[in-house]
Chain A
Amino acid sequence: MQPALTTASLCIGYRNGAAERLLFDNLNLELVPGQLVCFMGPNGIGKSSLIRTLAGLQNPLRGKIRHHHEKKVEQLISVVLTDRISGGHMTVFDLVAFGRYPYLGWNVKLSNQDEEIVQRAIRQVHIETLTDTPLHQLSDGQMQMAMIARAIAQDTPIILLDEPTAHLDLNNRVEIMRLLRRLAKSTSKAILVATHELDLALQTADWIWLTTRKKNILSGIPEDLVLDGSFDSIFEFKGFDLKTGKVQHLPDKGISVSVTGEGYELLWTKNALERNGYEVSELRSPSHITVGRNKDSLFWLLSTERGDMHFNSIRELIKNL
């Protein structure tokens, strides 16, 4: 598919007189309609500057950004930034209606069609009930949803978002990433999200942009970048195993146990054992745990040389190990 935006030898940074602070060098990237791209990298590396440059809010040092539409940039790219909005008496509807400004004349008159587009954008992020709510009454998550609705109402083929999930709880983070993915698929928009949510990005992104130490950006599908070790070398994980998606625990108790059972019960029992410093061995060890189900309730059977013990929760099991 033809990309919506491509960059050619793009260099990004700041110029202060003759001095130049280069953030990214020689970028050749593209955004494709219908794809959700997650843009990842450590803090302070210049992700926001790249987004601002792509959005036309900042000039590149060198190189070109090509749009594959013959439109003004405000009708091509909408942004959700980290800037705080001071609402005053603005309602959610008023905020989302700002998305229509690139299409309005000097006297700011919304047509029926504009109003319909605003309402539809609000429906798409599922905040219809908040339409007439003043902004200062919104939670952080609701505010972010409203900002996304504003970007949707701008009706652009490209949306760029700068850390839309920062400061939100897990539930809101998942909701926003799922929404963005659904939006990319259902409306064929090219969506770029700068985010720190590694686990969410790996599960929702079609494509990952990963900043490197050489002021460049690696791009690829998430699974390839996991398996070829790109993520490990950039993020230098300390005690996190990306391939299993788990935090690494040292078996500091020096005790080996074996577990049999099935399903989630087995999974979470292993999790508890590892978290508490036990080594879970594949081979049968002298301390063996059987996870089982008796009618509706779960039980844990610990078999040692001293005999069998029966527990009704993992907490009791760990206490008696």
Chain B
Amino acid sequence: MQLNSALRWVVLAGLLVLLFVLNLSLGSVKIPVKEIFTILLGFNSVEPVWTEIIWDFRMTKAITCVLGGSALALGGLQMQTLFRNPLAGPDVLGLTSGASLAVSLVYMSGAAGVSLFFIQSAWTVAIASSIGCFFVFLIMLAVSRRLKDNVSLLIVGLMVGAATASIVSVLQYLSRAEDLQVYMIWTFGSLSGLNWTEIKVLATIVLAGLAISMFNVKSLNVWLLGENYAQSLGVNIGRSRFLAICSASVLTGGVTAFCGPIAFVGLAVPHLVKLLIKSHDHKMLLPAVAVGGAVLLLGCDILAQLPRTSSILPINAITALVGAPVVIWVIMNNKIIR
């Protein structure tokens, strides 16, 4: 049992390293694997431009994959635990729509005659996106206290998504073509295009979210038994719920801001990881899910580059392709999940 679970961790870590290197070695310019290692170890490459490609393009993208995948998966896991709902996730519960609305306000609010944000920097977009997420999360939480039944909750989530989408479409209708295009490209989801400063911002956000969730491990475990039992076991319900919300919305909001609304990762990864690490203990699950999210997004990004043309597919197309079967599988195996 002990050895077995250690082996599973080795599998996860091995996959992470393998896919990370594979991700670095793929791209429109062909660079030999030996040269990649030479560059990574800090030696001079035979082709100086390769050094630049690896460090400023591929490395930033691979790290974005790791950070983004981890963040989305951690957010998804916490939401599934908090709502005690296997289908909870940033997109299904309307969180990404909240972020989309906030970001669309940043990019396109000028069109509606009011400029809510004067500086369109990386920080502004990130903060707006986090606020959007947090706001929708609060709505969902209030609703979840009234509606105990999961299906109703999901329907409310879809409705919140529809309502925010309609506001976004009004903004789109009114805004200038240039602003609209910036926003549209954001919605496709993109893992490239972050510079090192932006990666530092994203890394800070992800570490903060991870730290909050690890601090909240005990409460997350007890939430599995539901609110009443959690309270009877001495957990401060209000505080732990707030911490889980904070963590999940900061994580989801941060990633959505920099990479766009990336679908299905938050929903699918916790289920896939639980297949491998058969545990309910969040002390194990949180790190495992973080690694699993990184692995999945690295993998999806590799798939996005497979056509081997100069352009890559939008990441959202790939994650949905991986995620949708997982959702179907979850529904088919509902007996075990709940």
Which residues on A are within 8 Å of B, measured CB to CB? 52, 55-57, 72-75, 77-79, 81, 83-90, 94, 98-99, 101-102, 104-108, 136, 154
Contacts and interface: CB of A to CB of B under 8 A. Distances in A.
B317 interface: no
Contact of B228 (A57, A75, A108): A57
A108 B233 contact: no
A55 B227 CA distance: 13
Contact of A88 (B217, B222, B235, B280): B280
Given A79-B232, A86-B84, A87-B280, 7 more contacts: A79-B229, A85-B226, A88-B280, A88-B338, A89-B278, A101-B221, A101-B233
A87 B337 CA distance: 7
Interface in B297-338: 335-338
Contacts of A77: 232
Contacts of B221: 98, 101, 108
B45 interface: no
A79 B228 contact: yes
Nearest to B338: A86
B231 interface: yes
Given A86-B84, A89-B280, A154-B233, A108 B224 contact: no
Interface of B: 84, 215, 217-218, 221-222, 224-226, 228-229, 231-235, 274, 278-281, 283, 335-338
A106 B235 CA distance: 11
Nearest to A108: B218
A185 to B, nearest CB: 24
Contacts of B278: 89
B274 A88 contact: yes
Given A86-B338, A107-B283, A78 B224 contact: no
A81 B217 contact: no
Contacts of A72: 234
Nearest to B234: A74
B274 A89 contact: yes
Nearest to B336: A136
Contacts of A56: 231-232
Contacts, number: 79
A94 B232 CA distance: 17
A84 B84 CA distance: 11
B95 to A, nearest CB: 22
From B217, B225, B232, B279, name the one whose CB has the most chain A CB atoms within 10 angstroms.
B232
Given A85-B226, A154-B233, A101 B218 contact: yes
B217 A107 contact: yes
A136 B233 contact: no
Given A74-B234, A88-B337, A83 B228 contact: yes
A77 B231 CA distance: 11
A85 B225 contact: yes
Contacts of A55: 232
A83 B226 contact: yes
A98 B225 contact: yes
Given A79-B229, A136-B335, A89 B218 contact: no
Nearest to B279: A89
A89 B228 CA distance: 21
Given A55-B232, A102-B233, A86 B224 contact: yes
B218 A106 contact: yes
A186 B277 CA distance: 40
B231 A108 contact: no
Contacts of A74: 232-234
A106 B224 CA distance: 16
A86 B222 contact: no
A95 to B, nearest CB: 8
B334 to A, nearest CB: 10
10 contacts: A56-B231, A57-B228, A74-B233, A77-B232, A79-B229, A85-B226, A99-B233, A101-B222, A105-B218, A136-B336
A90 B224 contact: yes
A88 B280 CA distance: 7
Contact of B229 (A87, A89, A94, A98): A98
Nearest to A100: B233
A98 B218 CA distance: 10
A87 B225 CA distance: 8
Contacts of B224: 85-86, 88, 90
From A84, A88, A94, A108, name the one whose CB has the most chain B CB atoms within 10 angstroms.
A88
B190 to A, nearest CB: 34
Which 10 pairs, one residue from A and one from B, show the smallest C-beta to C-beta distance?
A74-B234, A86-B338, A102-B234, A101-B233, A89-B278, A90-B280, A79-B232, A83-B226, A88-B280, A108-B218
A75 B233 CA distance: 8
Given A74-B234, A88-B274, A89-B279, A106 B215 contact: yes
From A75, A89, A106, A154, name the one whose CB has the most chain B CB atoms within 10 angstroms.
A89
A52 B234 CA distance: 14
Nearest to B148: A83
Given A74-B233, A89-B280, A104 B218 contact: yes
A119 B224 CA distance: 21
A99 to B, nearest CB: 8
Contacts of B222: 98, 101
A104 B335 CA distance: 31
A7 B218 CA distance: 32
A147 to B, nearest CB: 9
B337 A86 contact: yes
Contacts of B279: 89
A155 to B, nearest CB: 12
